[in-house]
Amino acid sequence: MEIIKTVCSRDCPDTCFIDVSVKDGRIIKSKGNAESPITQGFICPRGTGDLKRVYSGKRVLYPFAKSGKPSSQGFSQISWNDALSKVSEMVQSTIDNHGNEALLLYDYPGNQGFLSWQFPRRLWMALGATTTDYALCSNSGHAGIGLHYGQAYGLQPEDLPETSIIIFWGNNAKVSAPHQWALANKARNNDGATIISIDPRKSETSQAADIWIQPRPGSDVALSYGIARYLIKHKGINNEFLNEWTVGYPEYAAEAERWTPERLKKVTGISRNLIEKVGALLIESKGPVAFMIGLGLQKSLQGADAARAVSLLPALMGYHRGFHYSDSNGRNVDWNYINGARQTLRKGKKVSQVSIGKRLARGEFKFVFVLGSNPAITLPDLTAVRQCFEREDVFVVVQDTHWSETASLADVVLPAPTFLEKRDMVFSDHHLYSRLSQKVIEPLKESRHEIWVMQELAKKLKRTEDWLFEDPWQALDQAFKATYKSGQLKDILEGKVLEIELKPLASYQTPSGKVEFSSSSAPNIGASRLPLQEELETDNHWFVLLNSSIAKYTHSQFTDVYGPIPAMVWINPKDAEKLGIQDGKKVVLFNDLANVVMNAKVTDNVSPGNLWAPRPLMGLNSVPLNALAPGTTQQIGGGPIFNSIKVKITKH
């Protein structure tokens, strides 16, 4: 038996180092590797489930083409040559008849590898195709925090064992970042750190925390100001830091002063006593404080403002970037060299990822190539997305490892190898440790690497640009010249673990070069200089639907291993009694966009007036949960509003 070292490529903060045991060319088992101080030698249910996923009956192992539309008609297996000829003909026909911008590349990090995701973009850059702004996941938080810090990188997960108070704000780390949670728990067990969870629902992290704060959904800006007011009034701020490293504090302090305990209770539902308890803990802390800002926090109507408001609290206390959000823009990686944007003068249009449904409905795109994503279940405004994928005037190509909801709607489906079947480089957005992601087994059947597909299509389209055919590892070597603290890509290829260089915490890419409590650049995008709490709507007939991921699934992946994502919705007992809803019985969630049938779970883990469901489930009536989500974009960063969905609920 051989043990091969690789790296998980999931869209997950932890990006684990994994040791995979192989016998006679077949994977036997996998386990966590302790060479990374983040992985710590254990892996999550997704990591253990990858073995079954590689050999799943849901794998796409050959090229397929659909005989026609609608989607009820079947697929026929075809040769790679026929598949690539058909795709290239449709690409050229779209360009000739509708222009380059009618080509849409819809890609995302279903596989975060640079060579699986970024390098294959080169063909579409050369063609001048339309691409998206990647705003679905974290853009609004990046943009909001960036208004005050320049860029949104911050403290590192390995700093957690040295902290005295760890606040997971809108962050169910116990599920979505289990290794971060393990490091926080280590700080609690070894040094008595206090863990605080701020979340409208009693998540797994909230249940395990020392203190759970349950604000009204959408009231996080107010809660941040309430904590700030307490710190200011009780000498919990660092005036020396504020004078040297910040601007705009007086304006911020004046806004915080307006958030009296009475006003705060009315907006957030949080009592004076709880604010005082948390404020006192922060002031009395004997070590650093960590604000762990979750991506879910910024997926709401006021998400960007919530993220920016929370990020300012550690600066108030005198910490350089004393928060953790995402470090993707804190590294020196030449992304544009890898993906080809630097090599071409042709600049394709970039559009809102969140608004793709509306754009498809308007007929903006006639050809869609989907890579590393499952938009037919993960996007908002899903009814429009799915209907347009089925239209005869929209040609859809999907390259994927498995038969997904999107693949079932495609015209051509191309088989891709899993991350265990190819060599790649994978970086986490949330820690700095990097090693080679080795190929563990040979690609199954006719699976072909994404780069091979890109280059074969380029040949059929008679593209002659040298950079389309550049050796991909030479491209990575060029892009990583200033990436690591010490060493280069050749060291990685020799089996070493390298640490990525993070930009200095005491460096601020704002116009002033300091932390800007009052953002000087916000007016340029029509935003307020300060984070502002908008008035929350109150209507007893409507519920706020919260939704987030659960332990065994990465977005829509692993349903072939663990079964469908449970079609359940949490509802508070008071609401259930009022509506005559019983635990375990079917209910219908509905709004103007869709009706989704689910099973009710009556629980105190969600407050009255609010619901929670796992995302991105498929309803019992075969309607996806995200069909209830509008394609509304946030003003700051263009992100989605998944946690501001308004629905009604009734017995089925």
CATH 2.40.40.20 boundaries in the chain = 543-651
CATH 3.40.228.10 boundaries in the chain = 139-325
Helix (H) or strand (E) holding 376: helix 375-378
The span from the CA of 388 to the CA of 360, in Å, is 6
pLDDT recorded at residue 540: 78
Q: What is the pLDDT of residues 480-529, one digit of tens each?
A: 999 999 999 999 999 999 999 999 999 999 999 999 999 999 999 999 99
CB 177 within 8 A of CB 148: no
Q: What is the pLDDT of residues 218-240, one digit of tens each?
A: 999 999 999 999 999 999 999 99
pLDDT recorded at residue 286: 85
pLDDT recorded at residue 69: 57
Coil vs helix vs strand at 45: helix
pLDDT recorded at residue 347: 87
The pLDDT of residue 538 is above 90: no
pLDDT recorded at residue 133: 98
In the chain, pLDDT over 70 holds for what percent of residues? 99
pLDDT recorded at residue 408: 96
Burial class of 243 by CB neighbour count within 10 A (0 to 12, 13 to 18, 19+): exposed
pLDDT recorded at residue 72: 46
Average pLDDT along the chain: 96
Mean pLDDT across the stretch 257-264? Answer: 98
Q: What is the pLDDT of residues 347-393, one digit of tens each?
A: 899 999 999 999 999 999 999 999 999 999 999 999 999 999 999 99
CATH class of segment(s) 64-130+336-499: alpha beta
CB 625 within 8 A of CB 616: yes
Cα–chain-centroid distance for residue 159? 22
Q: What is the pLDDT of residues 433-465, one digit of tens each?
A: 999 999 999 999 999 999 999 999 999 999 999
Coil vs helix vs strand at 243: helix
One-letter-per-residue 3-state SS of 58-103: CECCCCEEECCCCCCCCEEECCHHHHHHHHHHHHHHHHHHHCHHHE
Q: What is the pLDDT of residues 625-645, one digit of tens each?
A: 999 999 999 999 999 999 999
Instruction: Work out the number of other CB atoms within 10 angstroms of the CB of residue 11.
Output: 18
Mean pLDDT across the stretch 325-338? Answer: 96
Question: Do you find a cis peptide bond into 70, omega within 30 degrees of 0?
Answer: yes
**CATH number corresponding to 139-325:** 3.40.228.10
Q: What is the pLDDT of residues 24-82, one digit of tens each?
A: 999 999 999 988 888 888 999 999 999 999 999 999 999 999 986 554 458 999 999 99
pLDDT recorded at residue 39: 82
Q: Which residues contact 640 (CB under 8 A, 6 or more apart)?
A: 135, 136, 299, 354, 380, 629, 632, 633, 634
Radius of gyration of the chain measured on its C-alpha atoms: 25
Tokens of 541: 């007939």
Tokens of 24: 């006679």
pLDDT recorded at residue 539: 78
**CATH 2.40.40.20 is the classification of domain 543-651:** yes
Q: How far is the CA of 335 from the CAs of 212, 582, 604, in angstroms?
A: 39, 52, 46
Q: How far is the CA of 618 from the CAs of 146, 174, 449, 647, in angstroms?
A: 35, 24, 30, 16
pLDDT recorded at residue 66: 93
Strands 515-516 and 436-437 turn out to be unpaired
CATH 3.40.50.740 boundaries in the chain = 64-130+336-499
Q: Give residue 269's identity as a one-letter amino acid code.
A: G
If you count them, how many residues does the chain have? 652
Mean pLDDT across the stretch 601-616? Answer: 97
pLDDT recorded at residue 537: 82
Q: What is the pLDDT of residues 282-295, one digit of tens each?
A: 999 988 999 999 99
Q: What is the pLDDT of residues 20-36, one digit of tens each?
A: 999 999 999 999 998 88
DSSP state of 628: G
Tokens of 102: 């009618």
pLDDT recorded at residue 558: 97
